[in-house]
A and B are shown apart, each in its own frame.
Chain A
Amino acid sequence: MSVTEIDKMAATALIDEEELRYARAQKREKIGKWVLPIIMLTLVIFAWDRVVVMNNIPHYILPRPGLVLETLIKDWPILWQSLLVTLKITLMALAVAVVGGVGLAVIFTQSRFLEMSFYPFAVILQVTPIVAIAPLIFIYIDNKIVALLTVAWIVAFFPILSNTTLGLNSVDHNLRDLYKIYGASRWQRLRYLQLPAALPYFLGGLRIAGGLSLIGAVVAEYVAGTGGMGSGLAFRILEASYRLNIPRMFAALLLIAGTGVSIFAVTSLLTHLLLRKWHESALKREG
């Protein structure tokens, strides 16, 4: 073997090794992204179980994770019905929040006077703690579903309204001029320019509103539930707490948390699908 040949081999080997190391690091990160949270979660659940067993904590104070799972399966018919109720209120509230939030945002950007007149109301509704308003709403609105929905909506609509308003107003000035030069109508400007420009902002608001509508639904049930007419997950938690059925409280809690995570995942996926082609936030950069 000549010297140059060895040199050449060394050179290719060096590049290969570096590339391999890089590839390995990439792979590690990819796997770690999924595996690490799962390992940590398992460890925490295991520690929970050990703490309960070693300290002889009775199940009516803190149940073992296994018992929670058992209760979840055993009480599934009751809990499933409750989950559907909570989910229905949450999703309906989110839908109304989207329609109301985007609708108000569009109206506000079309008319400065309407914005000046009504924006303060939106802010007041947002900053007043919902638990303080909810009892009144349940007094004034007889239909329970409508009352629940109203409470959840008040909590959820504001981030959509404020984000979408911001988005509609942050159109590039040159593009605005361009539309003016080409004689675009108000409607055309809204449809082709402002709404697409506001989409990333709206989706950011939607992600927050998704979580908030669940919170709103749960809070509404708590307030309504004491009246003894609810059957959602929050009502089940209240009911179980009166009966010191702690495992069922945990099981219901698990379902609420799961619902919240699912809503977040769905809205994140929606954001990705809608923005991946063009928006900076969805860009994957090399290197």
Chain B
Amino acid sequence: MTLPSAIPPLGERQKLLEMSGVDKVFNGDVVALKGMNLTVNQGDFISLLGPSGCGKSTALRLIAGLSRPTSGSIRWEGGQARGDLGVVFQEPTLMPWATVSQNVWLPFRLRGKGYREVRDEVLWALKMVGLEKFQNAYPRELSGGMKMRVSIARAMVTEPRLILMDEPFAALDEITRMKLNDDLLALREKIKCTVIFVTHSVYESVFLSDRIVVMAARPGRVSTELTVPTPYPRNEVFRTTPEYGALCRDTSDALHGAMHEHNEASA
């Protein structure tokens, strides 16, 4: 595997993708997203944080190419190629009839690559999420957390330029969730991936990301953007520092501000 040596600090990263003035209107009158501007740089870990209905999942679907913006544009630096994107949904979304390794093989398989050809990559990805011993298991034999790991392995196996995660840990219990948060950051250190992570948890967003985009609802829009200056690697110790507490409070205030904006607008 050829991986970049280190992620440069914020502000020195190369541009990867740019959303400018993106609107999304459903059925002609439901405005899901209004005037969203976002520049994603290589190595960013961006959290989209906001209440439900703020358009964070809509934004993700737009970037994934699953729906088209009503107006505005989403431009990949150097164009988008096959395999540039990995996705992790809220559910593990595994094929129940296929083994763990076959599930991870999928992105390659759909590009016409045989299993033998990419066996090393598949096993490497499984090793990265700590499931190399379960390559022949079926999804139903795994716990919720393990299924999510398979899903993450599948998203990163092609070493995509961008990984989208749509509230991937929301359905898991708190302990598994913290463990997966730790592991996700460890993984990022290893493969230097760029991540856009949708969440409605303040604590999760502060722990994971270096950029937090706070969004507001009705219409869905970006309210403000915060940066988390704490350098990586971060681990469970970070969760107990006063710095973490202060950052969570700031982010929480920003989120409340975003929700308040909406209340004032509707009042």
Contact = CB atoms under 8 A, between A and B. Distances in A.
A277 B82 CA distance: 32
B249 interface: no
A106 B96 CA distance: 21
Majority secondary structure of chain B interface residues (helix, strand, loop or mixed): loop
Contacts of A181: 64-66, 85, 87
A91 to B, nearest CB: 27
A61 interface: no
A87 to B, nearest CB: 32
Contacts of B91: 174
B97 A182 contact: no
A178 B140 contact: no
A43 to B, nearest CB: 42
A178 B65 contact: no
B107 interface: yes
Contact of B95 (A184, A188, A196): A196
Given A184-B110, A283-B140, A175 B95 contact: yes
A177 B95 CA distance: 13
Most chain B CB within 10 A, of A179, A199, A278, is at A278
Contacts, number: 53
B95 A179 contact: no
Interface string A182-212: 1110001000110011010000000000000
Contacts of A192: 95, 106, 109-110
Contacts of B96: 278-279
Given A174-B93, A182-B106, A192-B110, 13 more contacts: A174-B91, A177-B66, A179-B110, A181-B65, A182-B107, A182-B111, A183-B111, A193-B95, A196-B97, A277-B138, A278-B138, A278-B139, A278-B140
Interface of B: 64-66, 82, 85, 87, 89, 91, 93, 95-98, 106-107, 109-111, 138-140
28 contacts: A174-B89, A175-B93, A175-B95, A177-B87, A177-B89, A178-B87, A178-B89, A180-B65, A180-B66, A181-B64, A181-B85, A181-B87, A182-B82, A182-B107, A183-B82, A183-B110, A183-B111, A188-B110, A196-B98, A197-B97, A199-B97, A277-B97, A278-B96, A278-B97, A278-B138, A279-B96, A279-B97, A283-B140
